[in-house]
Structure 1
Amino acid sequence: MPGRIPWERISGDDVETIIAVYVCRENPDAIRIRPSRGDGGVDLLNKREDGSYDVYQVKKFATNLSDSQRKQILNSWERVQQYFNERHWTIQNWYLVLPLDPTPENFVWFKETIQNHSSFACHWKGLTNVEVWASAMPEVYDYYMADGKEAVNQQIKSLLSAAQQPDLRDSKVLTEKLLRYAELLSSTDPNYAYSVRIISKYDKNGLVFFNRPNLLYSASITNDEGYSVVIEAIAKYKASSEFAPLKESGTIYANTPEKEKELLDFQRYGTPFNKMPIKNVSGNLKLPLLEESKHVISSHISLLAQVDPHPLTLILVSGNKHIALKQKSHTVGYVGGEWVGEDNSHVIHVRLRTDIDSLKSTLQITVRLDSLSGCEVLPAFHAIDFLYEVSQTKMMELQTLDGETVYCKSEHLDDTVFDEEKIFPWYELLSSLKTIHDAAFVDFKCPDFASLKMTHVRRWNEIEHLLRGELVIRHWDSFKFVKNADTNVDFPAGVIVYSKLVAPIGDQSIFLGYTQLFFNANSIDLLPDDKEYVLHSSSDICDLLIEHKYEPRKPEDRDNISRVTVGPLMNLSEYQQYVLPKE
C-alpha cells in the first residue's frame, strides 16, 4: 500500500467499496442496505444492543463538495429516515463517511442542514478517520487496488496443493503445512478467514457440515483411502459476500425425484438444498469440493440456510390464543419467496410461500408431537394449548407483530393435524405438567412421552387436584412403611401419614410441598427383609384413602413428615360417594 492513498484518482466505486470494507471490519455485524436509488453511496447498518441502529453512509467524494454532492448527501440522509420510519426502527447515530475532512463552510452546512434537523446524532467521519483505517488494515487496499487479489488466489492454490496429498495419514506434517498456508491466506484476504482440518476415515461424522454465523463456504476433498481434508471460508464481517462474493459456476443436476423437488424449490423460492450432484465447475474460487483430482470420490454441493441478521417473527392467531413463530429461513427465488418458522417448542412448523407476481400465498403447517419429549414445559403447553384452540375454532391467521394479517385460513384445515380428539389428550397431559411446573421449586422439562408410565399420568392428575386445594380420594390395597417402634397396635385401625408431595417426571422426583393421608387399615404384615411393614385394606372398613395438601404452620410441624400414626378406626363412608366403584 502506498504511503498515502490518492483517493481523488481512484474510481468512485472502488473508493466506496474500500471504505465500506473498513467500516465493516471495524463493525463486523454491520449489514448493507439499499434504501435509495440513483444518489450513489453505500449504506451500512450496525444494530446496537438496545435494538437501535448506527447508520454509515459511505460517499466517494474526495475533493471539496459541490452543490450537487451536498444535495446527494442530503437525499441519502432523508431517504434513510424514510426507510427506518417505514419499518418502525430507531436510528441512534448517522455517520457520513468519505475521504474528505470538512472545510469550515462544509462544517457549517452539515450542522445547519443535517445535525440541527435530526432526532439522532449525526457525525462526519472524514479523511483523518479513513487514513487511520487504511494504516490499520493495509490488506484491504492491496486486495482491491494492488496485487492482493492475485496473492490470495496463489495462496489458495498452495493450500489446495498441500491438501491434495496422495496419503493423508501422515497428519502431523500435513497439518502443520495446512495451518501455515491457512494462516497466511487469512492475513492476506481482507474479507475471509480460512480454517482447515483433517478427518480420519474412521470418523464417520467428521464430514457432517453445519451452518453457523459467518460461514460462507465449506468443502472437502477425500482420497481413495477415505481420508479427507476440510477447508472452510469464514467471513470476517457479515457483509463480505456483498463486496467480495465467492463465485462458482457449474451444472447442478438431480438424480432422484427427491432431488428434483429440492432443485425445483431452490429455483422457484431460493430454498436450501442438501448434497446435490454438480459437474463442469469453474469460477474464481477453487476449493477442494470442486477441484479436479484423481483422489476426489464424488462432487456434490450443498446450500445451507443463511443466517439472517434481522429475522422476522410472525404470530399465529386463533380465537383468543396466539403463538409466536421464530424465523428459521427466509429466501427468494425466481417465482417467489418462502418464509419458514417454528414456535419455541419446535412442535408447530410453518412454511409460507408467496408468488411475486400474483402475491398469492400458500401456508403449510406441520405439527411434530415427537418434539414435545425433552421440551421446556411452558413452550410445550403453549403449543398444545394453541393447537387445541384451532381444533375448536377451525380457523387461524398469520400476523405480523403489529397485527397486520399476512395469511388467513378459515376453511380446509387439515383434520389430521387439527383433530380435537387427537389433540385433547395432549392438552390434558400438558395442562397437568404446567400446573406442576408452576408449583415446583425447580425448573424441569417434559419427560420422554414414548416411555411414559400411566401410573405417572394418574399421579399428575391427582397432584393437580391437590394443588388446587381439593381432596384426592381413591381405593387402596396396600401401603408400605418403615416401622420405627415396636409398639403393638390392634387392627383394624385408623392411619394418618404426613409425607412429601413429589411428582414423578421421567426419572426425576419434583418436590411440591407436603400432603396428609388418612385411611383405615385391616391388618399389618412384616416383610421378609425385617425392616418394612405393609398395611392391608378391606372393604368391610371402607377401603378409601383420602389425601389433601398439608401446610406446616411451624418449623417443628415438619417433624411429622414421614411419620405414620395409628389410632382408632375412622368413619370414611361419607367419602364413598365421590369415587367410582372399585374395578
Structure 2
Amino acid sequence: MTAVVWTEKSGDLIETVAAVTVCRRHPSAERVRASVGDGGIDIRVRNGDGWTVFQVKGYTGNMTASRKSKVEHSFKRVQEYAAEVGMKIAEWNLLVPIDPTKENLVWFEELTKGAPFACGWKGRAYLDGLAAEFPDVIEYYFGDGAERLAETVRQVAAATGTLVAAERASSSAPITADGVRSGLSQLYEALNKFDPHYRYAFSVSPSLPEFPGSYKPGLVFTHAEGKEGCFVTFDVYARYAEAVRDSPITIQGVLSAPAGTDEAKALEEFHRYGAHFSRLDLGSGFVISAPGGLGGELDAGTFTVGPTVEDLAVPPRPIRLQVIDPADVVLAEVEVFLKKPTYGLGGQGMSVQAADASGFLMLRFQVDLETRAGKFDLELGDASGLHPSAILPALRVVDAMHEPNRVRLANQYGPPGNSVIEIAAPREEQENGILRLVEALQELQQHTVVQVAVPSLSELSRLDALRIIRAAAILRGEEVHVQYRGYSLVFDQDAQLEDGDHAGITGVEPLVLLLNQQPVQLGWRRFFAHEVKTTRTSRDDGKVEYRLTPSAGESFLMRFVAGEPPTESNSSE
C-alpha cells in the first residue's frame, strides 16, 4: 500500500478515516457525533475505570491561530463536560495528521499544563501507522472502487477454480470436502478483504436456518437464500461497535395492518412502547440496504422485532411483584426478573417484559412516559413437570389480583418503593381451582420422598384432581365427606364381615395416589361408611373383596380422616 498523502484529502474525509481506524484498533470505542452536547469528544475508549478521549481534527499543513483556538475550545469543553456528568478522563489525545513543530509543542504543553489526566499529540506518524495497520479502511475511503471490484472478482475466480476443476473431473474423482477446503478459504479471504466495517461468514445447510439463532458477538445481519435441500446463509459481523453508524443497514418501507386486528394493535404498541412483535406479513415495496450486496427489494415476507443479542446477554433485574390491599398490606408476592426495557419510536412510552424463575408467570408492563400511567398484562405458561413450590407464589399473586387490590413493583430487598400500578382490568374474586390443586400437590410432597410434579392440566381429569385435593385435606388432618354409589375393600384374608345391611363400617386402608405415573403410598386413612350393604367375593388371587353399596337411595356417605397402620394381620389395599 502506498503512503497516504493527507494534504490531498478533505478535512471531513480525514476525520472519518481517522475515527474508523481508531475504532478498528479499539473495537469497543464509542464515536460521538458532532453536536452541541458532544462535550468536545469525538471518540472515547474505556480505560480501566476511566476513559481515553480522542479529539479528531482533519487539519493538514500548519496549525494556524484559528485552528489552535478551536482545539483550545474543545479541550476546555471536554473538562467542563467531564465535571458535569462525572466522567473520569484517564487520557486526552489530539488526533490530527500534522506532526508538531517546536512551536506547536510549546503551545500544546501550555494548553494542557495542569490537566488532571495525561495528554498527547497523535500526529501524522500515528495516523500513518493506523493506515498501515488497516489498509482496507484506506482502500475503501481513498482507493479506486473499480480496482477493488476487479481484485475481488479475481480472488473469487481463483477461489472457485478448485470447485470448477473438481466438477469437470471424471466420475472416478468425485468432489470431496477436503478438495474444496482451499477454495472456500480463498473465497472467505476475498469476501473480507475490502470492507472496513463488516466481516462476512457463510454456510450451507439443507434447510432454512432458525431465526433468531444463538448469540454471536458482533452479528448484525443475516441473509439466507435458496431452496429446500440447499440454503446459503451469510452472517454479517460488525468489525467494531460504531460500524453500524458509519455504514448503516437500513430497511425502508411502510408497515401497515387492518384496523381492529391483533396486528394493528401490535404495531401501535411497537410505535408507542417499543414492544416486540413477530411475523407481521409484509407487502411489496420494502427495500433493504445491506453491505456486501446482500440487500435489495422484497416482494413478500414477514417482519419480526425482537431483542438484540446484546440485550439478551444483559442479566435480568430481580424485583418483587406484590399484590397489596387498600391499606398497603402485602397479600402475595413473587420474585420476577425484568428484562431490558424497550422504548417507543417517539420516546412516548416504555415496555418491559418479566417472568418468574420458573418461566410459568410471564408479564408485560407498559408505561406512558408523559403521563406516568402504567398498565400490564400477564400470561401463565405450561406448568407440566414443574415442582409445585416453583409456581405456588405466582399462582397466589394471580389469585389476589382483583378489586380493590393493587399491584406493586418492589425492590428486591429493603423498602418496596412507590411503583404501584392500579389493576387495569380488575376481575371479581373467584375460585382458583389450579391454585387449590397445586397447594394440594405441595402438601402431598411433605409425605413422600418421591418428587411430586405438576401433571399436564389438559390431560388431568376432574376426578383425578379431586382425588389429589381430598388426599391433601386428609393429610392435613381434615375430615373429608364423599358420596359413593359403590366402594370396594380388598383383604389378604377373610375380614369376617357378614353379607347384608350394616348401619356403619369402619376400617383403615393405605392412602395411595398415582403420582408421576406411579402409585405412591402417602400414609393411611381411616374410613367410616354409613348405611351400607356388603357383598363378599373370593378372588382368584386368594384375596377377599367386599363390595359396599347403598342400603337405600342412590349413594352412601363415607368419611375419611388420617389414620394409623392397622395392628391386626388383615390389611386392605
TM-score by length of 2: 0.62
Partner of 1:209: 211
Distance apart, 1:409 and its partner CA: 1.9
Partner of 1:340: 352
Partner of 1:60: 55
Partner of 2:23: 20
Partner of 1:430: 438
Instruction: Give yes or no for the alignment of 1:231 onto 2:234.
Output: yes
* Cα 1:460/1:20, change in 2 over 3 Å: farther
Instruction: Give yes or no for the alignment of 1:408 onto 2:416.
Output: no
After superposition, the C-alpha distances for 1:464-504 in whole angstroms (9 at most, x for unaligned) are 44665x366667933558x5xxxx6552499766x7x8765
AA aligned to 1:216 is V
In the alignment, the residues of structure 1 paired with residue 396 and residue 430 of structure 2 have an alpha-carbon distance, to the nearest angstrom, of 14
Distance apart, 1:138 and its partner CA: 3.5
Contact 1:33 1:44 in 2 (8 A): no
Secondary structure at the residue paired with 1:421?
coil
Instruction: Give yes or no for the alignment of 1:421 onto 2:430.
Output: yes
Q: Superposition pairs for residues 172-571 of structure 1, below 5 Å?
A: 181-182=187-188, 184-186=190-192, 189=195, 191-198=197-204, 200=206, 203=207, 206=208, 208-210=210-212, 212-213=214-215, 214-222=218-226, 228-235=231-238, 240-248=243-251, 250-252=252-254, 254=256, 256-257=258-259, 258=261, 262-263=266-267, 265-272=269-276, 274=279, 275-279=281-285, 281=287, 283=289, 285=291, 288=294, 290=296, 298-300=299-301, 302-307=303-308, 308=311, 313=317, 316-319=321-324, 320=330, 321-323=332-334, 324-327=336-339, 330-334=342-346, 336-344=348-356, 345-354=359-368, 359-360=370-371, 363-373=374-384, 377-397=388-408, 405=418, 408-409=421-422, 413-415=424-426, 418-421=427-430, 424-436=432-444, 446-462=454-470, 464-465=472-473, 468=476, 470=477, 477-479=487-489, 491-492=496-497, 504-507=514-517, 515-517=523-525, 527-528=539-540, 530=541, 533=543, 535-536=545-546, 546-547=561-562, 566-567=568-569
Secondary structure at the residue paired with 1:38?
coil
AA aligned to 2:191 is L
AA aligned to 1:336 is Q
In the alignment, the residues of structure 1 paired with residue 342 and residue 448 of structure 2 have an alpha-carbon distance, to the nearest angstrom, of 39
AA aligned to 1:342 is A
Partner of 1:120: none
* Cα 1:445/1:144, change in 2 over 3 Å: farther
AA aligned to 1:290 is G
* Cα 1:79/1:305, change in 2 over 3 Å: farther
Contact 1:41 1:57 in 2 (8 A): no
Partner of 2:101: none
Distance apart, 1:42 and its partner CA: 3.5
Contact 1:495 1:519 in 2 (8 A): yes
* Cα 1:276/1:266, change in 2 over 3 Å: farther
Partner of 1:554: none
AA aligned to 1:384 is L
* Cα 1:43/1:523, change in 2 over 3 Å: farther
In the alignment, the residues of structure 1 paired with residue 246 and residue 474 of structure 2 have an alpha-carbon distance, to the nearest angstrom, of 64
Contact 1:139 1:148 in 2 (8 A): no
* Cα 1:316/1:489, change in 2 over 3 Å: closer
Partner of 1:81: 86
In the alignment, the residues of structure 1 paired with residue 32 and residue 515 of structure 2 have an alpha-carbon distance, to the nearest angstrom, of 50
After superposition, the C-alpha distances for 1:123-178 in whole angstroms (9 at most, x for unaligned) are 99997xx99x969974675577555999699969999xx9xxxxxxx998999777
* Cα 1:243/1:545, change in 2 over 3 Å: same
Distance apart, 1:442 and its partner CA: 7.3
In the alignment, the residues of structure 2 paired with residue 366 and residue 467 of structure 1 have an alpha-carbon distance, to the nearest angstrom, of 37
Secondary structure at the residue paired with 2:402?
helix
Q: Decide which structure has greater helix share.
A: 1
Aligned length: 488
In the alignment, the residues of structure 2 paired with residue 524 and residue 436 of structure 1 have an alpha-carbon distance, to the nearest angstrom, of 33
Gap regions ≥5 residues in structure 2: 58-62, 96-104, 161-173, 325-329, 498-504, 552-556
AA aligned to 1:318 is V
AA aligned to 1:352 is Q
Secondary structure at the residue paired with 1:449?
coil
After superposition, the C-alpha distances for 1:192-239 in whole angstroms (9 at most, x for unaligned) are 443434454xx5xx365326545422333346x896433332445665
Distance apart, 1:450 and its partner CA: 1.1
AA aligned to 1:60 is Q
What root-mean-square deviation, in Å, do the aligned CA atoms of Structure 1 and Structure 2 show? Answer: 5.9
In the alignment, the residues of structure 1 paired with residue 150 and residue 409 of structure 2 have an alpha-carbon distance, to the nearest angstrom, of 48
Contact 1:316 1:325 in 2 (8 A): no
* Cα 1:284/1:113, change in 2 over 3 Å: same
Secondary structure at the residue paired with 2:291?
coil
Contact 2:362 2:378 in 1 (8 A): yes
In the alignment, the residues of structure 2 paired with residue 136 and residue 435 of structure 1 have an alpha-carbon distance, to the nearest angstrom, of 72
Partner of 1:560: none
Distance apart, 1:318 and its partner CA: 2.5
In the alignment, the residues of structure 1 paired with residue 337 and residue 293 of structure 2 have an alpha-carbon distance, to the nearest angstrom, of 37
Contact 1:495 1:565 in 2 (8 A): no
Contact 2:286 2:297 in 1 (8 A): no
Partner of 1:50: none
In the alignment, the residues of structure 1 paired with residue 284 and residue 559 of structure 2 have an alpha-carbon distance, to the nearest angstrom, of 73
Contact 1:41 1:58 in 2 (8 A): yes
In the alignment, the residues of structure 1 paired with residue 378 and residue 570 of structure 2 have an alpha-carbon distance, to the nearest angstrom, of 56
In the alignment, the residues of structure 2 paired with residue 404 and residue 440 of structure 1 have an alpha-carbon distance, to the nearest angstrom, of 41
TM-score by length of 1: 0.61
Gap regions ≥5 residues in structure 1: 47-52, 83-92, 116-122, 163-169, 293-297, 551-562, 570-583
Overall identity of the aligned pairs, in %: 14
Distance apart, 1:97 and its partner CA: 7.0
